[in-house]
Amino acid sequence: MDTMTDPVPAPAFRERVLALVARIPEGRVMTYGQLALLAGTPGAARQAGFVMNSLVGSATDGTSLPWHRVINAQGRVSTHKVGFGDMQEALLRAEGVPLDSSGRCDLAARQWWPQEQRDAPPEPLL
């Protein structure tokens, strides 16, 4: 996948991203860039976002994947422009993820890394 020009994620990348999203524990979050890194395609945050957008579109259809636990590198939800920002923020708050008055989550406190990847980066990617 050419992360700079290909807006459609490869099926294998999509499956790896979805598998990671399924593992995010309640009350924790991951970033789009982190998903891309752990899915084996560093720098493909935008493509991870395309994968997540397909889940957000089905949010009202009762998807079982915790799509709402994926936020941007600034610690904010990126779904306001597609009409799901308030829902995503409410779902995060309901799980105990605190958001400040600007809607920002403290990534240092809430970002989740799979146990087998705990030593991957020296610090959470911001």
**Is the model's pTM score more than 0.85?**
no
Instruction: Quick: pLDDT tens for 25-77.
Output: 999 999 999 999 999 999 999 999 999 988 776 655 566 899 999 999 999 99
Residue 5 has pLDDT above 80, yes or no: no
Structural domains for the chain: 11-108 (1.10.10.10)
Using DSSP bridges, classify how beta strands 30-31 and 70-71 pair: parallel, antiparallel or unpaired: parallel
Q: What is the mean pLDDT of residues 93-117?
A: 93
Q: In the prediction, which pLDDT does 17 show?
A: 94
The model's confidence at residue 15, banded by pLDDT at 50, 70 and 90, is very high
Burial 97-114 (b: 16+ CB within 10 A, else e): bebeeebebebeebbbbe
The pLDDT value given to residue 9: 64
Residue 20 pLDDT more than 80?
A: yes
Report pLDDT for 64: 82
User: What is the 3-class SS of 59-87, one letter each residue?
Assistant: HHHCCCCCHHHEECCCCCCCCHHHCCHHH
Q: What is the pLDDT of residue 69?
A: 96
Rounded Cα–Cα distance for residues 29 and 123 (Å): 15
- In this prediction, residues 86-98 reach a mean pLDDT of 96
